[in-house]
Amino acid sequence: MSGGLRLGLRTEPIKSLLRMERFPHIWCPGCGIGTVVKCYVEAVLESGIPVEKHVVVSGIGCTSRAPGYIKLDGFHVIHGRAIPFAVGLKTVRQDLEVTVIAGDGDILAIGGNHFIHAIRRNDDINVILVNNFIYGMTGGQYGPTTTLGSITTTSPYGFIEGSFNVPYLAAALGANFVARWTPLHTKELTAAIKEMFKVDGFAIIEVVSPCLIYGEMNNLPPLEVMKIFRDRTVIDHEADLSKIDIDLRDPRKPIVLGNFVRRSRPSYQTLARELIKRARGGG
């Protein structure tokens, strides 16, 4: 397969970073999360950072089950709090490469305040936000990325709220790295995760993902969504982020992907190290 070159770089096979004894996993057929796990694990293996220095943190939900299948130091904590847990860990252990893998509900609804403040502080953590437009694990309730008109178990007459445009929000808050990919774009997603590891500061990738639960209620079965990812995606790294909101249900609307933002604002943790030097009179 086309991963031959990358295989050559690996020192360990992917399985060495999976908790194989925990399979089969809990995800539905057609779900995109498993692909995200594979891309993350590949990126870890190719990162050049020792695997024992990678830590994965998650909250609650379908995506947040990911650390349970990844053979790294992994923390599956409470709903919405993966980011502050990760920030505490990273601040005191800056030798670690800390990545949060969680869903749209966990990070943007219950955890929304932590999300905006972690970007404002510019905490040196990586966030892989899998956006499936719905609360899958709890049975299909609407969330902060559900799009107008969508049918969910709590919007049986159609969703009437606005939705977060994740890259636009993260960029406005000052994130150092902002990207959006899909589980169809595995090469680009893996590369973006590897790039995230190198960023000093807040880095986020939104992974737009198919969901069986959302699909069943909105006539968008996962295979259909993968076709949309093939036919309606546009890679535009320079895109005007204010115009890249997603609506899978609108056939005229493209899904814009890319590595949109690269900034080098010093991270909170870098500035905190310098602060310690000043406080101790060392410069």
Contact positions toward other proteins, by CB under 8 A? 19, 22, 51-53, 55, 57, 67-68, 71-78, 81, 83-93, 95-96, 113-114, 117, 121, 268, 272, 275-276, 278-280
End-to-end CA distance of the chain: 53
Q: How far is the CB of 107 from other proteins (least distance, A)?
A: 13
Decide: residue 95, CB within 10 A, 0-12 exposed, 13-18 middle, 19+ buried.
exposed
Is 243 in a helix, a strand, or coil? Answer: helix
* Closest-CA residue to 36 (of 120, 131, 114, 109): 131
- Under 8 Å between Cβ of 196 and 101: no
Closer Cβ to other proteins, 94 or 153, answer by number: 94
Phi/psi at 82 (nearest 5 deg)?
-60, -40
Closer Cβ to other proteins, 100 or 244, answer by number: 100
Closer Cβ to other proteins, 71 or 253, answer by number: 71
Q: How far is the CB of 76 from other proteins (least distance, A)?
A: 4
Closer Cβ to other proteins, 68 or 254, answer by number: 68
Q: How far is the CB of 147 from other proteins (least distance, A)?
A: 28
Q: How far is the CB of 174 from other proteins (least distance, A)?
A: 15
* Neighbour tally for 90: CB within 10 Å: 23
